[in-house]
Amino acid sequence: MNKEKNAILILEDGSQFEGKSFGFLKSVNGEVVFNTGMVGYPETITDPSYHGQILVLTYPLVGNYGVPGRELENELLKNFESDKIQVRGLIISDYSRNYSHWDAKQSLHEWMLLEKIPGIYGVDTRKLTQKLRVKGSMLGKIVSSAKNDLHFEDPNLRLLAKEASCIEKIVYQKGEKAIALIDCGVKHNIIQAFLRRNITVIRIPYGEDFLKENPDGILLSNGPGDPKLCVELIEQTKKAIEFEIPILGICLGSQILALAAGAKTYKLKYGHRSHNQPVNEVGTKRCYITSQNHGYAIDSKTLPEDWREWFTNDNDRTNEGIMHIYKPFFGAQFHPEASPGPDDTEFIFDLFLRAMR
């Protein structure tokens, strides 16, 4: 490890957080966000929804169980949510050099070094998180030398969903029923959830015409960035709504569905990124604990009259899901597949599949 190398996180307001470098030594910029999950860093940092972001982990002990191997399940990496680390950089409090786990194949430092991802440890992540909660998610940059000529850059001005998408169509053949999955930065375990249910998944790159696949259902995936920039996909989704093909939107996909229906979205102050977000099913007293990773939300007050709010967040009352009152269109702002986190809401996949039959 680069034990003696210093690195600094500089925020757009001029504040600085110094620490020691681990992983790959280089300078990067991005949007600085935090995640309050206690475990699951291999799945978290490979989640494409973090594309373009510098991630702060609030749990103080990171790296203690190493990094698992790259075994495959259904042609996908079993232990990761994509084929590579997606975060631009990683900020933590305490890095555990010694790791112990029966499935560990390398250290977090070795993995980040291999994939050229910089990290800083020894940072007061509690103080940093408090700042982000008060001021909101901020632009930042990791600099590894006194020469600091890197500019702040807002990744949300780019079409990140297209950047995080697959390059060409991929078919995961299973059962007779097939869904068209529009890849805006899909997590592997969303695909696995359908394959385990004997559903064929046609993974479509962002921007391609998914209706020509004549699917039994459409899944709008999670992904990074501002949903309003996904103009092409919003228009395609409007057509799918007209054809009344069953649609499930997850995270960014739920926001895309809402925009296609005529609602509006907005940017949250600091987002929801954790494995223990409580959501309430509207009209019931049922609360589910969910895994979440999003910086934007649906303005439920702008939903058309044929749509209703399905779930709300019990912490801040923001929208966590929508549904059409009589057509098979559903949106979940959280992650039913979890990975990491609780799988309390995996029934949403089954609800969607029943709508296809």
Catalytic center residues: 251, 335, 337
Is the CB of residue 46 less than 8 Å from the CB of residue 80?
Answer: yes
Distance CA 242, CA 265 (A): 21
Is the CB of residue 355 less than 8 Å from the CB of residue 347?
Answer: no
Distance CA 44, CA 23 (A): 16
* Dihedral over Cα of 227, 228, 232, 238: its sign: positive
Closest CA to 294 of 12, 42, 47, 128: 47
Distance CA 77, CA 79 (A): 6
Distance CA 252, CA 231 (A): 13
- First-to-last alpha carbon distance for the chain, in angstroms, is 54
100 Cβ contact partners less than 8 Å away, ≥ 6 residues apart: 64, 65, 66
In DSSP notation, 104-124 reads EEE-HHHHHHHTT-EEEES--
Residue 153, by phi and psi: left (phi above 0), alpha (psi -120 to 50) or beta?
beta
Distance CA 121, CA 99 (A): 16
